[in-house]
Amino acid sequence: MAVGDVSFPKMWTVAGIKIGSSEAYVRYPNRRDLVIFELAEGSNIAGVFTQNAFAAAPVVLSKQHLAKSLSADQPRYLIINTGNANAATGTIGLENAEKTCAHLAKLTGVQSHQILPFSTGVIGEQLPIERLLSGIQPALDNLNADSWQEAATGIMTTDTAPKGASEQFELDGITYCMTGISKGAGMIRPNMATMLSFVATDAPIAKNLVEQLLKTTVEQSFNRITIDGDTSTNDSCIFIATGQAGGQAIQQSDDPRYQVVLDVLSRIMLRLAQLIVRDGEGATKFITVTVEGGVSTQECCDVAYSIAESPLIKTALFASDPNWGRIVMAIGKAGIAQLDTSKVQVWLGDVRICRDGGAALDYTEEAGAKVMAEKEITIRIDLGRGTAQDTVYTCDFSYDYVKINADYRS
C-alpha cells in the first residue's frame, strides 16, 4: 500500500501528444504492457538515462537516437514495454530493440532513429519479440490525447498505483499545460534519472532549454530519491515540449517565462519522484531526510543517503522505534572528513533528539515515539560546519519489502 495521497490526478491533455497502448503479453497475459507516445512534428525532447554500466539495450539505443536528432529529424514516437527490461541481453537484446523501432517506423512512415524505445521489468531475459511486435499495431489503433492514465498503468511493474502529475499554467496570456507519468517501486536509487518518467508540455521551448530544464529539475527530484540503493539498468526520464498550444518559443533562460516553466516542471518532477517513494516496495512510511549546515551539497547528500539507505534505520522506521542511535551511526559512517560530532544536531520532526554529540537534555523517548508513529516523518540533521543543505526522500523497510522481492518473478 502506498503512503499518503497517491490518487491519480486530473491529467490535462497536452496538445501534440497522443498515447496508445495494448496487451502484448510481454510477461503476463491480459494486462496492458505496451505503450506508444506519438509526438507532434516539431516537438523538442530531452532525456537523461541511467549511469549503470549494464545500461539496457533500449537505453543504449535511445541515447543514440537522441544524439542523432541533433543533426537530423527529431524523435516522433516513444515505445515502452513493461515485464522485461531487455538489460544484460547482449547483442540479441540490442537487435530486438532495433527490430522494435524498425517495425514501428515502418507502420508510421518515420525513420527508425525517430523512435525512442524503453523497457522495464526482469533483467537478463530476452524479449518475446514476436509478441511485442504484434502488439504495436493495436496500440497505434487507439492513439488519442486522453490516455495518460492508461499509459501510467501500462508501464507499471511492482507499482501498486499509476503515478501522474499535471498542471495548467499561463505565459503571456496563453494557457499551457504540463503532464507527466512515472513508474518504479524497487531498484530505485536513480543516478541522473529514474526508472521511467515521461513529462510533456504544449508550451513552445527551444531544444537546448528543454535539455537544461530537464537536467536542472531531475537533479532535485529523481536524483534525490532512494528506495533500496539499487540503481536500475533502465532508468530513463524524458521531457517533451510540443509547442502545439501556440505562442512565441522561449529561446533564452533569461526570458521571464523560463522561470515559470522551471517552477511548474520542478513541482511535477518532485511529485512524480515522491510518488515513486510513496509506492516504494513494502513502504508504510514516507521519509524526508534534510541535511543542513554542510560545507557542500555533496556532503549533505552523502549524509542524507547514508541515513536513507541504512537497513537498520529503515527497519526502525517501520517499527516506529525512535532508535536514534542508528541515525548518528549513519551520520558517522558517511565518511565526512573531520566531522566535529559535538556540533551535530538531529531532529525527528520538531523534536530535537541529539545535540553536543549526545541526547538533547530536553529529549524524551515519548516525544520521539510520537513523531515516529506518524506516516510521514522528517529527519533533519545540522552538521554545524557550513551553509549547504540538501534533501533526500525515502521510505521504510518492512516485511513486505522482503516478501515482494523474494516473490518477484515467481
Q: Name the residues that contact a second copy, by CB under 8 A.
A: 51-55, 85, 87-93, 122-126, 186-187, 189, 191, 228-233, 309-312, 315-316, 318-319, 321, 323-326, 328-334, 336, 339, 341-342, 354, 356-359, 397-399, 401-403, 405-410
- Give the whole-angstrom CA distance, residue 308 versus residue 151: 30
52 is in an annotated binding site: no
Burial class (CB in 10 A: 0-12, 13-18, 19+), 144: exposed
211 is in an annotated binding site: no
Residue 397 Cβ, how far from a second copy at the closest point, in Å? 6
Select 48 or 178, whichever has its Cβ closest to a second copy. Answer: 48
Select 29 or 357, whichever has its Cβ closest to a second copy. Answer: 357
Catalytic-residue membership of 194 = yes
44 is in an annotated binding site: no
Residue 301 Cβ, how far from a second copy at the closest point, in Å? 15
Catalytic residue (one of 50, 158, 179, 194)? 194
Residue 333 Cβ, how far from a second copy at the closest point, in Å? 4
Residue 210 Cβ, how far from a second copy at the closest point, in Å? 28
Count of CB atoms within 10 A of residue 53's CB?
7
Select 273 or 353, whichever has its Cβ closest to a second copy. Answer: 353
Cell triple for 407: 516473490
226 is in an annotated binding site: no
For the chain, what is the radius of gyration of the CA atoms? 22
Residue 352 Cβ, how far from a second copy at the closest point, in Å? 13
Select 229 or 349, whichever has its Cβ closest to a second copy. Answer: 229
* Cβ-contact 274, 165 below 8 angstroms: no
Select 124 or 247, whichever has its Cβ closest to a second copy. Answer: 124
Residue 75 Cβ, how far from a second copy at the closest point, in Å? 25
410 is in an annotated binding site: yes
- The residue whose grid cell reads 515519548 is 366
Residue type, 99: K
- Give the whole-angstrom CA distance, residue 102 versus residue 119: 16
Select 197 or 310, whichever has its Cβ closest to a second copy. Answer: 310
119 is in an annotated binding site: no
Name the binding residues for substrate: 157, 183, 194, 281, 405, 410
Name the binding residues: 157, 183, 194, 281, 405, 410
Which residues does the annotation mark as catalytic? 194
